[in-house]
Amino acid sequence: MKKGAFEFRGPGGRTFRAGEDGPVFIIAEIGTGHGGSLDRGKELIDAAARAGADCAKFQVVYADEIIHPLTGEVPLPGGSIPLFDRFRQLEQGPDFYAALKIYTESRGLVFLASPFGLTSARLLKDSGVSVIKIASPELNHFPLLDEVNTYGLPVILSTGVSLQKDIEKALSRLSCPAALLHCITAYPAPEEEYNLAVLESLARTFGVPVGVSDHSLDPELVPGVSMLFGCSFIEKHICLSREDRGLDDPVALPQEDFAGLVKLVRRLTPLPQEERRRFLEERFGAERVRILSGDGIKRLAPAEAANYERTRRSVHALCDLAAGTVITMKNTALLRTEKKLKVGLPPELHPSILGKRLLRPVASGEGITREDVSG
């Protein structure tokens, strides 16, 4: 299932080629940590550059591309608010991301971002990005994958809260170069559940470069052990302080900790595998390295298993739908179920129910199931 060489150009004409013999590409995940402030976004980019990252990554958030307004609340330091409202607060236009891209590249870093639907994907295409990142919950957002596949750009896909069959389906939609990031979709993610030997399994099975997206709290443990298994990418959140109000700041690394991660990875890079292992076992303990390595079988981690259906995309009603309503692209969407709504049909079945009538009412936001649909 090889997709061709995974390479792209960064600032100054620098070319990154993924592969075991090349340097690891280190991604500082800023996400929405800017809080809508361009100045804060620049501060975070500066922190990523000073820490030695190769890339500053963002998330292009438009709430209605991700969830329904009734999906539930998210706890924040100032109190719980609807998750949809929080995403609304983070929405920014093309000029905001264009400014972030210009500043990122002025600091010598690659600008990377995750879209969550067609609007955000097209914004990134129009901005001239050289590579695109797909977040774990969008691994089954097939219209999004089909869209980015038309851009001819390399695509990095995170594989949290997914099974091997889900990865295979996602890669089958792409003819462009692809890479996979092993991930546990939990915040924080338990270090002992990482099963990092799965990196070798994914590379062998799918014939694409692999890496890790790490949501654990230790700055260096998961990134370091991943270096034993052919890791080409390491992604970890960065923040100005873990006490800040960003959605991911509690699991992010301040600049000094991120710099320690970078230093470790660069130190390990030239070492032969046995020397890498010896160094890591001396630093973290042989038993911890063994536990994090795991058995290499791709499965849901215990910390994310309960959210398998709720975090991923399924078919949801956009408004109250009466019995007899014809299902269309205008009254349904592929959304994350998240907090409290009913899970709907998987995205691959959405086309098969278009034009059919509902057998019973479906409330706004709820998932549409096979039992709801005629025929």
Q: What is the pLDDT of residue 76?
A: 61
Q: What is the rounded (10 degree) CA torsion for 20, 21, 23, 27?
A: -20
Distance between CA atoms of 351 and 328, rounded to whole angstroms? 9
Q: Give the CATH fold of the 7-304 domain.
A: TIM Barrel (3.20.20)
Q: Are 317 and 366 in contact (CB under 8 A)?
A: yes
Q: Where are the domains of the chain?
A: 7-304, 312-372
Q: What is the pLDDT of residue 375?
A: 74
Distance between CA atoms of 88 and 162, rounded to whole angstroms? 27
Which pairs with CB-CB distance under 8 Å and at least 24 residues apart come from 351-358? 353/315, 353/327, 354/327, 354/328, 354/329, 355/326, 355/327, 355/328, 356/326, 356/327, 357/324, 357/325, 357/326, 357/327, 358/321, 358/322, 358/323, 358/324, 358/325, 358/327
Q: What is the pLDDT of residue 339?
A: 85
Distance between CA atoms of 101 and 80, rounded to whole angstroms? 32
C-alpha to C-alpha distances, 233 to 32, 135, 156, nearest whole angstrom: 21, 15, 10
CATH code for residues 312-372: 3.90.1210.10
Q: Are 11 and 45 in contact (CB under 8 A)?
A: no
Q: What is the rounded (10 degree) CA torsion for 83, 332, 348, 165?
A: 10
Q: What is the pLDDT of residues 301-354, one digit of tens each?
A: 999 999 999 999 999 999 999 999 999 999 999 999 998 999 999 999 999 999
Q: What is the pLDDT of residue 359?
A: 97
Q: What is the pLDDT of residue 9?
A: 87
* Assessment of whether the complete model's pTM goes beyond 0.85: yes
What are the backbone angles phi and psi of residue 8, rounded to the nearest 5°?
-155, 160
Q: What is the pLDDT of residue 2?
A: 46
What are the backbone angles phi and psi of residue 128, rounded to the nearest 5°?
85, 30
Q: What is the pLDDT of residues 212-239, one digit of tens each?
A: 999 999 999 999 999 999 999 999 999 9
As a whole number, the mean pLDDT across the chain is 95
Q: What is the pLDDT of residue 254?
A: 96
Q: What is the pLDDT of residue 1?
A: 42
Low-confidence spans in the chain with pLDDT less than 50: 1-2
